[in-house]
């Protein structure tokens, strides 16, 4: 039976305190903080981070398909999933698609991937990420958060089997956003609560429990996600589910991460599960999906590379003004420097493995790793004796650094570091997720996939260093 | 195979240099006309006497037409050269070799840059279409990489390091205040330098060279002909230029406290000129102080100070106008300004004045050998030029 064979998750480093929003806007303060994609992050870059972990933890078996679920695809036209595939160095021989339009896309993608894995007998990857934008003073701005999760599904080495699923689709007006609009609209809360989310959640849960032949007390953990958290609370009460079994919605620490949220909650919950546990997972938005997962003994040997808990703890604040600038909600005076030049198609294609995969080269004559990939060895000058050498998962140390207050950035100063990789190789790149006064020679850093800038509608993705998380 | 040099085979018989600065009322063409005619006049030659031209500019025009059109040069070879911030020196090097080869009798090297028309802060370089992966760093940030590395290697705490850098800027402004052609002719107190706005910490705006417009030109002939034109020419003792393999940003062996390219050009130039102890033998130097840490590192790369000790020489005034080896007596890039294509020739212009005793209030006592150093690029990835010139043959 198909199920989850590995997973990864990603919560960005930055946090925005809800009280900080309230203090600026003069609106009532709500509790907690939300995770914020940094100025150089979007749904693609966050999905890459989660997918890297999921693939690294998966068995060394070819992945046959890749789905990317998000309501905030950086490209309206152009396959977003292709960038995920390039950044994680998946082979070209895969089926890939973006699933978008609803926060329901995350669980829908997971189920599609499970079906694909079951039908093909190969592994299927799914990544889900969102960086939704709420209008200032609105609920979404405070309640949403940014993040990502990723799974590899298959029929071998399964840690959580999909025992049963149920899906319902209804047309009703709750949340909508037309192309070109920055902020979503939503209908009156009571309408969707009483007429849509409540009944749909009930129907999906009842159906999937019946299919699996389970009674509520046979379920070990419950993971619910709904655009309106009150729908979940009311349902848990009405269904007499044990609140202790209900997974933390991460509302005080991360916020609702759109299409990624059901996945993020699941990756936060799985490490707490024992073999044999039944996990009820349900998601409502434009309909509902519910799944029963049966945790297998293989879970005992699975350790996530970055746990959600560790990602939640690893954080640094952004001010509300900083957040508004990052999202370009608050326009700022541009520096007296030229705009970034757009990257060009042919050079990007030629350097696909370098640009997206951070694959450098290693001289087979003298063994020296180097990046970007070279033809003549930097050390022994041997010509064309290189083999590919990936750097994305290597750690390094800062050899020297610079703070550039003149260069264009949404988050000045641009911090640049010279990274000396363990095992060889040096790279001069941007450093992110850190404060200028915290950088020192000898600091340990790791590599992270980011969006450097956007020019002429072309998002320029590449790698940066960050302090080890 | 060797770099044989052309010691004492070529002489400079006339030079011109505009004031450097914000020439809102002058185009690049205006500046070239001024510098070229100053040079003709200085050498006492007619434009028709000049057989060929080398024009250095990084971005103020392409091809020889950039010069031949405003000067109405009558069907003669004009070559446009570019080697980043060493462009001006490169035009002189090409002109000198053309004369030394015997191909021409009398040639002009001229450099120009018009930076203040762009409306941008600092220097802007446009790249060929690329894959979007080259680092987005401005020149001050690239050169600021030297500071933490140098401070750490030689045990300078950040405050001490900051003082050393400020002392270099202070010295160059003090010299520039004695130069009527400099962009900034004002002394600046150390505290004002340290308190100026940060641009690439620890570098403040006062650690950066002046962004300016300007042009400079030299007329070059064979040494044996020099006295036909002028009674006190200056002689080229050495010209050295290298483009490095750019290993610094990709090799862990580079430590950001030196420019290997400068070391190579200095070694070559000293061999050509017969200089064995530059600290003692060089009377004055104009070096590429694009940012204060650059000048600090250059002292060591050029052999003026033993490794790790340049900062002490700085604090003791060794490189001051009254010091043992005055560096950047004309104010340097810092105070004279840095119109890219003109800077290398501006450095030579100071040699022209000093070696002939025409430097006025900043005249150095009886100089014998002068050095100019010009570089372009970034630490670990640059081109470098060193010349040695003297007032006497032999």
CATH code of the domain covering residue A194: 3.40.47.10
Residue B129 has pLDDT above 80, yes or no: yes
CATH topology classification for B139-209+236-390: Peroxisomal Thiolase; Chain A, domain 1 (3.40.47)
C-alpha–C-alpha distance, residues B43 and B34, integer Å: 14
- Taking CB atoms and an 8 Å cutoff, what residues of chain A touch B291? none
Residue A342 lies in a domain: no
The answer to whether A432 and A448 are in contact (CB under 8 A) is: yes
Which residues of B make CB contacts under 8 Å with A? 119-122, 124, 126-127, 129-133, 135-138, 140-142, 144-146, 148-149, 152, 198-201, 245, 247, 249-252, 254-256
- The pLDDT-based confidence of B148 (bands split at 50, 70, 90) is very high
Residue A336 lies in a domain: no
C-alpha–C-alpha distance, residues B304 and B281, integer Å: 10
Which token pair is A302?
């699975």
For residues B36-43, average pLDDT: 98
Q: pLDDT value at position A50?
A: 98
Q: pLDDT value at position A418?
A: 97
- Do residue A322 and residue A426 come from a single domain? no
The answer to whether A369 and A425 are in contact (CB under 8 A) is: yes
Q: pLDDT value at position A435?
A: 87
- Do residue A238 and residue A364 come from a single domain? no
C-alpha–C-alpha distance, residues A273 and A275, integer Å: 7
Tokens 């052999």 sit at which residue? B303
Question: B219 or A217, which is more confident?
Answer: B219
- Do residue A289 and residue A432 come from a single domain? no
Residue A332 lies in a domain: no
- Do residue A413 and residue A308 come from a single domain? no
Asked if B124 and A337 come within 8 Å (Cβ–Cβ), the reply is yes
Q: Where are the domains of chain B?
A: 10-118+212-233, 139-209+236-390
For residues B339-345, average pLDDT: 97
Q: Kindly give the confidence (pLDDT) of every residue in chain A, 469 residues in length, as a single tens digit, with 9 standing for 90 and above.
A: 899 999 999 999 999 999 999 999 998 889 999 999 999 999 999 999 999 999 999 877 789 999 999 999 999 999 999 999 999 999 999 999 999 999 999 999 999 999 999 998 899 999 999 999 999 999 999 999 999 999 999 999 999 999 999 999 999 999 999 999 999 999 998 998 899 898 999 999 999 999 999 998 999 999 999 887 788 888 888 888 899 999 999 999 999 999 999 999 999 999 999 999 999 999 999 999 999 999 999 999 999 999 999 999 999 999 999 999 999 999 988 888 888 899 999 999 999 999 999 999 999 999 999 999 999 999 999 999 999 999 999 999 999 999 999 888 889 999 999 999 999 999 999 999 998 888 999 999 999 999 999 999 999 999 999 999 9
Asked if A336 and B199 come within 8 Å (Cβ–Cβ), the reply is no
- The pLDDT-based confidence of B127 (bands split at 50, 70, 90) is confident
Nearest residue of B to residue A421, measured between CA atoms: B252
Element (H, E) at A446: strand A444-455
Last residue of a domain, which of A326, A341, A375?
A: A326
- Do residue A401 and residue A453 come from a single domain? yes
Q: Long-range pairs for B349-354 at CB < 8 Å and ≥24 separation? A: B349/B15, B349/B16, B349/B17, B349/B216, B349/B218, B350/B284, B350/B286, B351/B234, B351/B284, B351/B286, B351/B389, B352/B12, B352/B15, B352/B218, B352/B234, B354/B283, B354/B284, B354/B329
Cα dist from A88 to A48, A291, A373, whole Å: 7, 28, 18
- Do residue A394 and residue A286 come from a single domain? no
For residues B140-145, average pLDDT: 96
Q: Which residues of A61-81 are buried (b: 16+ CB within 10 A; e: fewer)?
A: eebbbbbbbbbbbbeeeeebb
Contacts for A376 with CB less than 8 Å, ≥ 6 apart: A382, A383
- Do residue A310 and residue A377 come from a single domain? no
For chain B, the average pLDDT equals: 96
For residues B257-276, average pLDDT: 97
Number of structural domains found in chain A = 2
Q: pLDDT value at position B357?
A: 97
Cα dist from A358 to A371, A392, A462, whole Å: 8, 6, 8
Chain-centre distance of CA A191, in angstroms? 31
The answer to whether B387 and B269 are in contact (CB under 8 A) is: yes
CATH topology classification for B10-118+212-233: Peroxisomal Thiolase; Chain A, domain 1 (3.40.47)
Residue B23 falls in the annotated catalytic set: no
- The pLDDT-based confidence of B153 (bands split at 50, 70, 90) is very high
Q: pLDDT value at position A445?
A: 98
Same fold, B10-118+212-233 and B139-209+236-390: yes
Q: Which residues of A349-384 are buried (b: 16+ CB within 10 A; e: fewer)?
A: eebebbbbbbbbbbbeeeebbbbbbbeebbbeeeee
- Taking CB atoms and an 8 Å cutoff, what residues of chain B touch A452? 132, 136
Asked if A452 and B137 come within 8 Å (Cβ–Cβ), the reply is no
Nearest residue of B to residue A422, measured between CA atoms: B252
Task: Determine the structural domain holding residue A355 and report its residue range.
Answer: 351-467
Among A405, A429, A458, most B C-beta atoms within 10 A, so best to mutate, is A405
What's the complex ipTM?
0.92
C-alpha–C-alpha distance, residues A461 and A31, integer Å: 34
- Do residue A91 and residue A184 come from a single domain? yes
- Do residue A303 and residue A398 come from a single domain? no
Residue A340 lies in a domain: no
- Do residue A199 and residue A243 come from a single domain? yes
Q: pLDDT value at position A441?
A: 94
- The pLDDT-based confidence of B1 (bands split at 50, 70, 90) is low
Q: pLDDT value at position A304?
A: 94
Residue A35 lies in a domain: yes
- Do residue A316 and residue A356 come from a single domain? no
CA angle B303, B305, B311 (to 5 degrees): 140
Which token pair is B143?
């050169």
Sequence-ordered alpha helix ranges (H) in A58-103? 80-87
- Do residue A135 and residue A176 come from a single domain? yes
């Amino acid at each position: 039976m198909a199920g989850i064979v590995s997973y990864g998750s990603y919560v960005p480093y930055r946090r925005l305190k809800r009280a900080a929003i309230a203090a600026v806007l003069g609106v009532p303060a709500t509790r907690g903080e939300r995770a914020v994609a940094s100025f150089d992050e979007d749904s693609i870059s966050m999905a890459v981070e989660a997918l890297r972990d999921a693939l690294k933890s998966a068995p060394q078996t070819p992945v046959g398909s890749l789905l990317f679920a998000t309501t905030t695809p950086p490209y309206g036209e152009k396959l977003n999933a292709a960038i995920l595939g390039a950044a994680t160095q998946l082979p070209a021989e895969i089926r890939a698609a973006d699933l978008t339009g609803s926060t329901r896309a995350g669980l829908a993608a997971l189920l599609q991937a499970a079906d694909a894995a079951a039908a093909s007998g190969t592994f299927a990857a799914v990544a889900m990420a969102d960086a939704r934008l709420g209008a200032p003073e609105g609920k979404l701005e405070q309640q949403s958060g940014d993040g990502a999760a990723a799974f590899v599904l298959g029929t071998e080495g399964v840690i959580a089997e999909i025992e049963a699923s149920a899906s319902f689709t209804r047309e009703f007006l709750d949340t909508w956003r037309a192309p070109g609009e920055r902020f979503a609209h939503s209908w009156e809360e009571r309408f969707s609560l009483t007429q849509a989310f409540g009944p749909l959640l009930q129907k999906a849960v009842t159906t999937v429990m019946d299919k699996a032949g389970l009674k509520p007390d046979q379920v070990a953990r419950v993971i619910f996600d709904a655009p309106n958290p009150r729908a979940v609370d009311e349902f848990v009460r009405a269904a007499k589910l044990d609140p202790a079994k209900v997974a933390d919605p991460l509302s005080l620490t991360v916020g609702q991460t759109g299409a990624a949220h059901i996945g993020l909650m699941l990756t936060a919950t799985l490490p707490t599960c024992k073999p044999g546990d039944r996990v009820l997972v349900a998601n409502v938005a434009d309909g509902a999906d519910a799944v029963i997962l049966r945790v297998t003994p293989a879970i005992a040997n699975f350790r996530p590379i970055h746990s959600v808990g560790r990602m939640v703890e690893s954080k640094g604040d952004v001010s509300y003004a900083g957040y508004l600038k990052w999202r370009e909600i608050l326009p700022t005076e541009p520096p007296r420097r030229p705009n970034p030049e757009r990257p060009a198609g042919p050079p990007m294609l030629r350097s696909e493995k370098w640009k997206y995969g951070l694959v450098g080269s290693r001289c087979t004559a003298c063994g020296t790793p180097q990046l970007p990939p070279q033809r003549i060895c930097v050390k022994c000058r041997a010509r064309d004796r290189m083999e590919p050498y990936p750097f994305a998962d290597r750690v390094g140390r800062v050899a020297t650094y610079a703070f550039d207050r003149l260069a264009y950035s949404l988050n000045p100063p641009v911090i640049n570091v010279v990274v000396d990789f363990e095992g060889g190789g040096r790279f001069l790149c941007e450093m992110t997720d850190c404060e200028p006064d915290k950088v020192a020679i000898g600091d340990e850093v790791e590599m992270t996939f980011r969006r450097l800038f956007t020019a002429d509608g072309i998002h320029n993705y590449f790698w940066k260093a960050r302090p080890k998380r | 195979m060797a770099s044989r040099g052309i010691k004492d085979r070529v002489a400079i018989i006339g030079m011109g240099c505009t004031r450097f600065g914000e020439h809102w009322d002058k185009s690049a063409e205006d500046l070239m006309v001024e510098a070229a005619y100053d040079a003709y006049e200085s050498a006492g030659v007619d434009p028709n006497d000049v057989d060929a031209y080398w024009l250095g500019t990084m971005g103020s025009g392409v091809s020889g037409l950039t010069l031949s059109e405003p000067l109405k040069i009558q069907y003669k070879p004009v070559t446009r050269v570019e080697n980043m911030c060493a462009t001006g020196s490169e035009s002189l090097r090409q002109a000198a070799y053309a004369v030394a080869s015997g191909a021409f009798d009398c040639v002009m090297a001229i450099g120009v840059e018009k930076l203040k028309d762009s409306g941008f802060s600092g220097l802007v370089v446009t790249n060929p279409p690329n894959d979007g992966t080259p680092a987005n760093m401005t020149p001050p940030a690239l050169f600021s990489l030297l500071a933490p590395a140098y401070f750490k290697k030689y045990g300078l705490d950040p405050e001490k390091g900051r003082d050393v850098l400020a002392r270099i800027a202070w010295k160059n402004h003090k010299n520039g205040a004695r130069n009527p052609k400099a962009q900034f002719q004002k002394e600046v107190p150390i505290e004002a330098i340290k308190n100026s706005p940060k641009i690439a910490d620890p570098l403040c705006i006062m650690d950066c060279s002046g962004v300016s417009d300007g042009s400079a030109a030299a007329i070059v002939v064979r040494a044996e002909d020099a006295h036909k034109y002028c009674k006190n020419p200056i002689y080229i003792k050495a010209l050295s230029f290298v483009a490095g393999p750019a290993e610094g940003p990709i090799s862990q062996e580079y430590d950001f406290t030196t420019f290997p390219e400068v070391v190579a050009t200095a070694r070559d130039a000293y061999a050509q000129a017969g200089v064995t102890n530059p600290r003692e033998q060089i009377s004055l130097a104009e070096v590429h102080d694009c940012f204060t840490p650059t000048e600090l590192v250059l002292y060591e790369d050029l052999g003026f100070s033993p490794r790790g000790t340049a900062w002490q020489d700085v604090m003791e005034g060794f490189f001051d106008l009254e010091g043992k080896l005055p560096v950047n007596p004309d104010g340097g890039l810092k105070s004279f300004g840095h119109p890219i294509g003109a800077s290398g020739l501006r450095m030579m212009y100071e040699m022209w004045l000093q070696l002939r005793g025409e430097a006025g209030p900043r005249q150095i006592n009886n100089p014998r050998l002068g050095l100019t150093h010009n570089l372009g690029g970034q630490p670990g990835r640059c081109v470098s030029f060193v010349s040695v010139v003297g007032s006497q043959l032999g």
